[in-house]
Chain A
Amino acid sequence: MTESAESIPRFDPDVLRAFISRIFVAAGIPQDDADLVAELMTRSDLEGSDTHGIFRLKMYVGAVLAGKTSKIPNIHIERESGNTAVVHGDDGLGHLAMNFATKLVIKKAKENGMSWIGIKHGNHAGPASLWAKMLLEHDMIGIYSAVAGVNHVAPWGGTDLLLGTNPIAFAVPGLEEPAIVLDMATTVSSAGKIQVKAQRGESMPEGWMIGNDGQPLTDSSRMNEGSVLPIGGPKGYGLALMIGLLAGTLNGAAFGKDVDAFTDPGKNAPNTGQFIAAISIEAFGDVEGFKRQVDDVIRSIKASPLMPGFDEIRLPGEQSNRRNLYRVENGIPIHDKLKAVLNGLADDLKVEGL
């Protein structure tokens, strides 16, 4: 569906940014931090990550008000080597620890050719691509991954939900062509997509979920009676496992049975883990030469003859790039239901609504 065909009310990004910020401030977050997180969340919405931007505001604020998320976290480096660090997020808003880690990874990669920073005691920090993309303007390749906050995935052949849909993002700059930005969950469908289906009363296609009886599960209202299927079966299971070890266990963050549903109030802070890695292109050769090669690869892919049923070949990140261009111009669509939730939040905190 092209975005212009949707008839959903649109909001100016500046309006959303200001709204998110005043909500956070009313919940006790310092102004600078509130502004920063508001900016990052709005950027996620601009790029089309509709379930990872302002959609999450109520959940974030709920965790702050419940005392699960620290208002004034002491984000610090817990361990450091020449080109690595473990950043302790002190259970603050996830974007803050990630922002700290991203600055650090850029500095260390500039000095050393590459760098890898892990995060512990972080929180949900928006879409994976948001962070990987931050390295592009520094002529670096970005890799980001996270342990998902809820376990929706069973190990291949099993039924215990011990794994998340653990996403991974890569960002690679081109010269004239837009950057290649892959942002994928290691499952066929994200949990969010299934929740949307459930909300709309639609069934899922076969291949998204499997029931504990081993049969395809297509009734989206029965989402919690089975496992979200990993891509390529055992392969996606392996990837989700490896990402969890790298983004979680390696940093002393939660993974496996330790992952608490961060949407569940009344529990402790989730100790979310992430990692961000930066590869400085100049360490490997001529930066412009590399970007030109990336352009070549992009153009040869775009020029491939099409399979019947396709009207174009897309590069990873192309769609979100288009969304961004459109939304900067025309505003960010906010469903009435979401708007009502957000205005309810504003009422509770006694600040001006949307």
Chain B
Amino acid sequence: MSDVHSRVSADELSTFIACAFESVGVPESDAKIVSKIMTEIDLLGGSGHGVFRLPQYIRRIKAGGMNVTPDIQLEHETNSTAVVHGDNCIGHLAVKRATDVAIEKAEKMGVAWAGVKMGNHAGTASVYARMALPNDMIGIYSAVGSANHLPPWGGLEMLLSTNPIAIGVPAMDEPPVVLDMATTVAAYGKVKTAAQRGEEMPVGWMVDNQGQPLTDPKRSNEGFLIPVGEYKGYGMALVLGLLAGTLNGAAMGHDVIDFNADDESLTNTGQFICMISLKAFGDVDEFKRQVDDLARSLRASPTLPGFDQVRLPGESSQGKHDDFSKNGIPVHPELTKALDVLAQDLGITSLF
């Protein structure tokens, strides 16, 4: 891997991202917040959602599709809830604000829930759920995905997104348990990789518009991703969309703009974050010890043929974070090229 990927330190990457944003008019303090979160996403191995998205974000800002000087406000507020109006800001800013508000309220009340409206794509789900961990909280995050890839189960019209959900739970000596999943069996990224490699997809990833298994990844635009558990995953995508979108007055269903194809239209992306303070439910250390126990008992399970170990959600991300913090974040050669082009366009120092 290391011979094809260049590695960059987290600090270098973060500085580069911040420079790029500042060069298109984003205030320094905002550029810093966003670049820190995007770098954290790359450190955790969420490679399709970190710096990979930078050219797209910059393109949208230049096209006037994202507001660089937003007035982010709390539109509704109670003891334990808030709706953050993002004013079409860079998505990370509104979600970070919602996360801070939720942590503050959960500290006082026990649990808090903050929704976002008028936001934008904000990176991976787990990066926000993980913000709970240093506060001795459990974090739950979901978002309306930035393009509809999913028809309702039994239908043909793409009315839903693969709305992701992330849940982060702190442990004591073990790594935190952090689930981050889309509501489909396979992500589009995996389909694209299979196409690149000329491999067949397993039955169960996609169906064609006749409802038959689709296994040729080159024909992926003729079919649909299959939700986890079929109608169950459809139900989850729907409910998460209502919670992350509709409840906050954000787009959901046919209102969702394809963020990848359209740089200009207002997306009104919605997200929510829920924070649960451990101390409201019992002794914090005792809880974390229990999580350790559970993690160890799962890992100690005998394995099925073909598996070398039982993993816990978030374990491989944590491993990457440890590796990349020490040895640098690998950047794919194609991405390096794209970032070089971006740096030239913006007149900033290139990453390598």
Contacts and interface: CB of A to CB of B under 8 A. Distances in A.
Given A114-B111, A116-B111, A285-B83, A313 B229 contact: no
Contacts of A170: 239, 243
A307 B155 contact: yes
A238 interface: yes
Interface of A: 79, 81-84, 86, 111-116, 118, 141, 154-160, 162, 170, 172, 180, 182, 184, 187-188, 210, 212-214, 231-236, 238-239, 241-242, 244-246, 249-252, 255-257, 277, 279-281, 283-285, 290, 293-294, 296-297, 300-301, 304-310, 312-316
B252 A162 contact: no
Interface stretch (B59-67, B73-81, B93-101, B257-265): B73-81
Nearest to A170: B239
Given A155-B301, A283-B76, A294-B242, A308 B210 contact: yes
Contacts of A232: 181, 184-185, 228-229, 233
Interface of B: 76, 78-81, 83, 108-113, 115, 138, 151-157, 159, 167, 169, 177, 179, 181, 184-185, 207, 209-211, 228-229, 231-233, 235-236, 238-239, 241-243, 246-249, 252-254, 276-278, 280-282, 287, 290-291, 293-294, 297-298, 300-307, 309-313
Given A86-B282, A307-B154, A307-B155, A112 B302 contact: no
Given A82-B108, A82-B109, A154-B301, A251 B229 contact: no
Contacts of B302: 158-160
Nearest to B302: A159
Contact of B81 (A155, A283, A315): A283
Contact of A245 (B76, B282, B291, B304): B291
Contacts of A213: 304-305
A173 B313 CA distance: 32
Shortest beta-carbon contacts, A-B, top 10: A232-B228, A231-B229, A113-B78, A158-B301, A84-B110, A81-B110, A304-B155, A157-B307, A113-B81, A160-B301
Contact of B247 (A244, A281, A300, A316): A281
A241 B179 contact: yes
B167 A242 contact: yes
B110 A250 contact: no
Contact of B242 (A180, A283, A300): A180
A212 B303 CA distance: 9
Contacts of B307: 157-158
A284 B112 CA distance: 13
Contact of B177 (A114, A141, A245, A279): A245
A79 B280 contact: yes
Contacts of A279: 81, 113, 243, 247
Which of B246, B254, B287 has the most chain A CB atoms closer than 10 A to its own CB? B246
A161 B195 CA distance: 36
Contacts of A212: 304
A94 to B, nearest CB: 19
A284 B301 contact: no
A231 B232 contact: yes
Which of B228, B246, B304 has the most chain A CB atoms closer than 10 A to its own CB? B304
A183 to B, nearest CB: 9
Contact of B169 (A160, A172, A245, A309): A245
A308 B310 CA distance: 39
A236 B179 CA distance: 10
**Which secondary structure dominates where chain A touches chain B?**
mixed
A306 B155 contact: yes
25 contacts: A83-B109, A84-B109, A112-B79, A113-B80, A115-B80, A116-B276, A155-B301, A156-B311, A158-B301, A172-B239, A236-B229, A239-B179, A241-B298, A245-B291, A256-B293, A279-B113, A284-B83, A284-B247, A293-B252, A304-B157, A305-B157, A307-B155, A307-B207, A307-B209, A316-B239
Nearest to A250: B281
A242 B169 contact: yes
A81 B169 CA distance: 20
A301 B156 CA distance: 10
B181 A238 contact: yes
B310 A156 contact: yes
Given A294-B242, A304-B152, 8 more contacts: A86-B282, A114-B112, A115-B80, A231-B233, A241-B312, A245-B177, A284-B81, A297-B246
B320 to A, nearest CB: 17
A26 B98 CA distance: 53
Contacts of A184: 229, 232, 235-236
A241 B309 CA distance: 17
B136 to A, nearest CB: 12
B288 to A, nearest CB: 10
A275 B169 CA distance: 16
A79 B310 CA distance: 35
A279 B112 CA distance: 10
Contacts of A233: 185
Contacts of B211: 307-310
Contacts of A244: 294
Contacts of A293: 246, 252
A290 B291 contact: no
Contacts of A280: 78, 81
A283 B294 contact: no
Contact of A235 (B159, B228, B248, B277): B228
A306 B111 contact: no
